[in-house]
Copies of this chain bind each other. A is one copy, B any other.
Amino acid sequence: MNPIRVTIWNEYRHEREDERYRAVYPDGIHGAIAQGLGLESGFTIRTATLDEPENGLPEDVLMETDVLLWWGHKAHEEVDEETVNRVQGRVLHGMGLVVLHSGHHSKIFRRLMGTSANLIWRVADELERIWVVAPSHPIARGLDRYIEIEREEMYGEFFDVPPPDELVFISWFPGGEVFRSGCCYTRGSGKIFYFRPGHESYPTFYNPDVRKVIANAVRWAAPTDGPPRVFGNQAALPSG
């Protein structure tokens, strides 16, 4: 089996501009994710960041990407419309997309969802307990019945996304909220997974269970060799 070609996209502003976040992610959030994925076999990994030419995602990079990971937060608006168009086109043609945490507000995720992707939130160093509600799902492989993250930002319902095709995780927060924190979608020939945790001020992307989920999600979202895309005017077929 060929390795899955992964591109980890990170906005990469927090870590460059603020030493508090750089202290947590000295190699950037993308670096920490790449390190985690690199512990497993079966992936070839590259990274891309907002301030690179064409937002780091020119056509040739996307054509060589099986699964794209996306982390962004404060500069969503700076992503070019052309980049969003290219990524959307590739997803419809089969590229997987794994959207992490504050990536819920990215242009590409909102584009693919058709909704605001708004939610409620609070930064208060709270425990997050992520319950598995789809035990047979490949993204839950190797997990216990819940994941705990010692300190995280809270995201709560209502989360303005379409009802997920498959709901894998629900988060619990001590402040009283719940959140659909692992949501699967398909768009065209592509698979999309949204995974909630990963605030820039917490070491979430070093957490072994979070890393396991991300690796599972990449494998799940990798393109299958599905039917060709055929559209437009077509002659009638034989009736046998």
Contact = CB atoms under 8 A, between A and B. Distances in A.
Nearest to A123: B233
Contact of A158 (B163, B177, B229): B229
A159 B172 CA distance: 16
Contacts of A148: 240
A20 interface: no
Contacts of A238: 127, 176
A162 interface: yes
A114 interface: yes
A132 B160 CA distance: 12
A134 B114 contact: no
A227 interface: yes
Copies, count = 4
Q: Kindly name the residue among A124, A131, A166 whose own CB sees the greatest number of chain B CB atoms within 10 A.
A: A131
Contacts of A27: none
Contacts of A189: 135-136
Interface of A: 88, 92, 94, 111-116, 118-122, 124, 126-127, 129, 131-138, 140-145, 148, 150-151, 156-160, 162-163, 165-167, 170-172, 174-178, 180, 185-191, 223-240
